[in-house]
Amino acid sequence: MEAIVYITCGKREEAEKIAQILVKEKLVACVNIHEITSIFEWKEKMEKCTEYAMICKTAEENFKKIEKRVRELHSYELPCIIFWRIDGGNRDFLDWIKESCGFG
């Protein structure tokens, strides 16, 4: 099944580097990077910062490898790595995701 992995980074350069590695290693088909504002509490302090959200299109079978690879590459102590299954969509596009990840 196809899936989305959501990752955040503190710098655009880091997000782009991770994205390029994940695509090159065929762990994801495509990554969209968006600038976002994040508000959260970390170590008992309220934080507000600019981050870069990565929306990664992939095959469900790749999630554990993606999680491992992102942890190796990421600068955060506790990186956001969230997984969602895709329940529907443009079948041709979803097939492209699987093929791009080596599952076609």
Residue spans per domain, the chain: 2-100
**Neighbouring C-beta atoms of residue 50, cutoff 10 Å:** 11
Whether the full predicted model's pTM is greater than 0.85, yes or no, is yes
Tens of pLDDT, residue by residue, the chain (104 residues) = 999 999 999 999 999 999 999 999 999 999 999 999 999 999 999 999 999 999 999 999 999 999 999 999 999 999 999 999 999 999 999 999 999 999 97
**Neighbouring C-beta atoms of residue 3, cutoff 10 Å:** 20
CATH number corresponding to 2-100? 3.30.70.120
Report residue 59 CA to chain centroid gap. Answer: 12
DSSP annotation of 1: -
Backbone phi, psi, residue 84, to 5°:
-130, 135
Q: Which residues of 23-43 are buried (b: 16+ CB within 10 A; e: fewer)?
A: beeebbbebebeeeeeeeeee
